[in-house]
């Protein structure tokens, strides 16, 4: 038996594919400010560090990011589950993992993290759902959000496996002292993820069953 008492998952690129709704909100924002739209294929490389960082990268630090941020979320708040769906096989894998506690920790704002889990009928699989809450902790790769979640749950880092699709996820998990597992079907390539030396790399969420047994 493994020593893991909790599987803590990233959301975007790990549990759900949200790039189409993020892309639509980005392109709405670009149109509003007179910039050229971008293809959906550009979105995966842009996400992972939180939307504010994404907008700073796109518009530059000299732009009025607060106004741009407002326009983005004005649109996104009405469309964030138009096209977002759980990845194929995720729900069946979560059902197979019913014997172990599971939670979500995302850099997506807390409101939308909770909203996606609820609107996609995934809430029953998780005992804890947490998004970005800048008033309490900085976003990944800082480990503070993971440690906050584990303190809330009363579970030690050494008994936790953090699963995500980005370098931020692996770096945050390592810094927090959890086990780390990279998924290769999300927003980063296996080569990029492998360079972070996660404890495990999987191509399908069902592979977690063998890891935790």
Q: What is the pLDDT of residues 139-191, one digit of tens each?
A: 999 999 999 999 999 999 999 999 999 999 999 999 999 999 999 999 999 99
Are residue 200 and residue 160 in the same domain, yes or no?
A: yes
- Of residues 47 and 70, more confidence is placed in 70
User: What is residue 47's predicted lDDT score, i.e. its pLDDT?
Assistant: 82
Question: Which CATH number covers residue 37?
Answer: 1.10.150
Taking all residues of the chain, what is their mean pLDDT, rounded to a whole number?
95
Percent with pLDDT over 90 in the chain: 88
- Of residues 74 and 45, more confidence is placed in 74
Beta strand pairing status for 179-183 and 128-132?
unpaired
Q: Is 66 annotated in the active site?
A: no
Residue 178 tokens, joined: 């959890």
Per-residue pLDDT tens for 6-26?
A: 999 999 999 999 999 999 999
User: What is residue 149's predicted lDDT score, i.e. its pLDDT?
Assistant: 98
**Dihedral sign of CA atoms 190, 192, 195, 200 in order:** negative
pLDDT of residue 128 exceeding 60: yes
Q: Which of 10, 21, 24, 169 is catalytic?
A: 10
Are residue 136 and residue 37 in the same domain, yes or no?
A: no
User: What is residue 51's predicted lDDT score, i.e. its pLDDT?
Assistant: 84
Predicted TM-score (pTM) of the model is: 0.94
Are residue 143 and residue 198 in the same domain, yes or no?
A: yes
Domain span holding position 36: 19-79
**pLDDT bracket for residue 84 (50, 70, 90):** very high
User: What is residue 46's predicted lDDT score, i.e. its pLDDT?
Assistant: 83
Phi-psi region of 13 (alpha: psi -120 to 50; beta: other; left: phi over 0): left
**pLDDT bracket for residue 58 (50, 70, 90):** confident
Rounded Cα–Cα distance for residues 32 and 36 (Å): 10
Instruction: Quote the crossing angle between the two packed helices 51-59 and 19-32, to the nearest 10°.
Output: 40
Structural domain count, the chain: 2
Does residue 1 belong to any structural domain of this protein?
no
Are residue 123 and residue 98 in the same domain, yes or no?
A: yes
Q: How far apart are the first and last CA of the chain?
A: 5
pLDDT of residue 1 exceeding 70: no
Percent with pLDDT over 70 in the chain: 100
Are residue 32 and residue 126 in the same domain, yes or no?
A: no
């Amino acid at each position: 038996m493994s020593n893991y008492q909790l599987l803590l998952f990233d959301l975007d690129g790990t549990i759900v594919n949200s790039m189409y709704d993020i892309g639509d909100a980005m392109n709405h924002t670009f149109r509003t400010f007179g910039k050229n739209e971008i293809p959906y294929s550009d979105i995966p490389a842009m996400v992972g560090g939180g939307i504010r960082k994404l907008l700073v990268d796109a518009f530059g630090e000299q732009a009025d990011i607060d106004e741009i941020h407002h326009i983005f979320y004005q649109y996104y708040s009405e469309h964030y589950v138009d096209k977002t769906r759980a990845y194929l096989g995720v729900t069946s894998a979560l059902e197979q993992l019913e014997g172990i506690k599971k939670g979500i920790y995302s850099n997506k704002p807390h409101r939308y993290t909770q909203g996606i889990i609820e609107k996609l009928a995934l809430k029953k699989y998780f005992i804890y759902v947490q998004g970005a809450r800048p008033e309490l902790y900085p976003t990944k790769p800082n480990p503070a959000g993971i440690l906050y979640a584990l303190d809330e749950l009363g579970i030690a880092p050494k008994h936790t496996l953090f699963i995500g699709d980005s370098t931020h996820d692996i770096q945050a998990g390592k810094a927090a002292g959890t086990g780390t597992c990279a998924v290769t079907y999300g927003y980063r390539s296996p080569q990029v993820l492998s360079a972070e030396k996660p404890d495990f790399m999987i191509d399908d969420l069902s592979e977690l069953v063998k890891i935790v047994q």
